[in-house]
A and B are shown apart, each in its own frame.
Chain A
């Protein structure tokens, strides 16, 4: 079984400032890692994913994340945020083999202020 912990439920930040959204996971098997974004009243959109290879993963909208196996973390970063980045961000994991369903964290609400 897996679990995902997103340590911050809300992160307020000013426009053009950098941001980091934290994600830690726990699993007894190897996993894939994902970040999804949810805008109000919409579905989830994939930001980026780590399957294998380089531990620094670049995604859409200028976001990137780094997989740290020893710390079981997959933190999401953006060097300069925009008002349009205001949304809910979900970290998720799935097993590499067998059960492929996503296990989600509780989400982090990013609030970008002018």
Chain B
């Protein structure tokens, strides 16, 4: 049963520290998304990649957040320096965009629960 995996599942850190979250998309999927879930803002897109190229990162605070795909099996989301307002659950999702005008389902990982003290 193919699944999106995310590590770590939980992370507690102090303000100012660097945080790295990792995601392994489902093998064969060509699109990866990062979403953030908070009580106040709900689920919002941070960034997404197609064939490892960033297509949209308009949802990310550029000064502190960065997202990369070093290879097709790994996506990373980094926060440096972290702030208490970054406390949230961060979800990675992957999908397969087959062709123009047709899209497949996005499959979500279990999330990384980040707490910044």
B interface residues with partner A (beta carbon < 8 Å): 4, 31, 33, 35, 42-45, 48, 55-56, 91, 93, 95, 97, 100-103, 105-111
Contacts and interface: CB of A to CB of B under 8 A. Distances in A.
Contacts of B105: 34, 46, 49
Main secondary structure on chain B at its contact with chain A? Answer: strand
* Residue among A44, A51, A90, A94 with max Cβ neighbours from chain B (10 Å): A44
A94 B104 CA distance: 11
Contact of B110 (A36, A43, A99): A43
B42 A101 contact: no
Contact of B45 (A32, A51, A97, A102): A102
A42 B110 contact: yes
Given A42-B110, A43-B108, A44-B108, A101 B48 contact: yes
* Residue among A96, A100, A103, A107 with max Cβ neighbours from chain B (10 Å): A100
B103 A100 contact: yes
Interface of A: 32, 34, 36, 42-46, 49, 51, 90, 94, 96-97, 99-107
A106 B44 CA distance: 10
5 A-B pairs with least C-beta separation: A43-B108, A104-B43, A44-B108, A101-B45, A43-B110
